[in-house]
Structure 1
Amino acid sequence: MIVRRQRVLAGVAGAALLCGVALAPPAQITDAAFTDPEYGRATITAFRVPPATIIACTVANNGLGVFQNVRLVWTSVYPASGVRLTLTQGATTAVVPAANITTTGPAGGLYTHTAVLTQSLLASLISNLLGSTTTLTVTNLLAGTSWVSDGTSRQLSIALLGLNASCT
């Protein structure tokens, strides 16, 4: 008897559920439209690492006209850790060690960097020094990134046998 009563209750509940579904209103069809009359406007400018400015490139020759050293002076908004001096001769490029660059300042917002590159230092970095042209390039480096400025360059020309060196 109890089982029969449970079956009857289950049947009544099922019939009530079917009636409820049949009597429920159908789903309404809608068109979703998203419009917003507001807009934004901005100008975006990318940061560019400013280049260094070479203010002097002088060559010292001995009394016989033989090359002794080249002195390169440049200004930058970056301290010693934010500058690099490279030498390029043909397909060979070398970075001048930071120990060979002295820095003063800042004065007026600029640091002054000086590199005195002797004949022996240049020969250790660039193998064929005599009778060649070497490009001295300074660049600024933005700390904590891989961003580098455009290079500023001078040409060191040394004639055969180390005579009549010049920096242009």
Structure 2
Amino acid sequence: MATSIGRRVLHGGVRGVVGGLIATTLMTLYRFPVFRALPPTADFWAKYVGGGDPEAYPGTGLLLHFLYGGAAGGLFGAGVSLLEFRSERHRHLATIGLSLVYGLALSVLGTRFIFRYLLDEELEPAEALTFHVGHAVFGLTLGTWMNSKERSGEVYE
């Protein structure tokens, strides 16, 4: 039994990492045209590791952003794999709802802890809205991925 749970958690974690990377890609594509700023990971790198201006670390900032997104996805995937549902329909609905809440929780963590305490910065209201909606995109994409079938080919019944 424990081995079965361990396999399920590992499988969910791996699927979550892939989903987190896909979700981070879509979130980044959503926010770039309207936000026009590097993810806060570039600011973090400049402040705590590299020094200087965050604009000097676009590649590092994006790499860290994708690593964070993949790790966050893996954590969600492992966690949701532990849950039992009454039916496939309940699993789909709950996973989407939980992933949206998870994405928004990550957003609140970003604005309340990362920006405010680690980076000593504050987002303007319009930027905060874009930041939160981007994380909603992340959550919904992650949940959709976690609900997807692992097969290719015909998907319409």
What TM-score results when the alignment is normalised by the length of structure 1? 0.29
Flag the structure with higher helix content: 2
What TM-score results when the alignment is normalised by the length of structure 2? 0.30
Flag the structure with higher strand content: 1
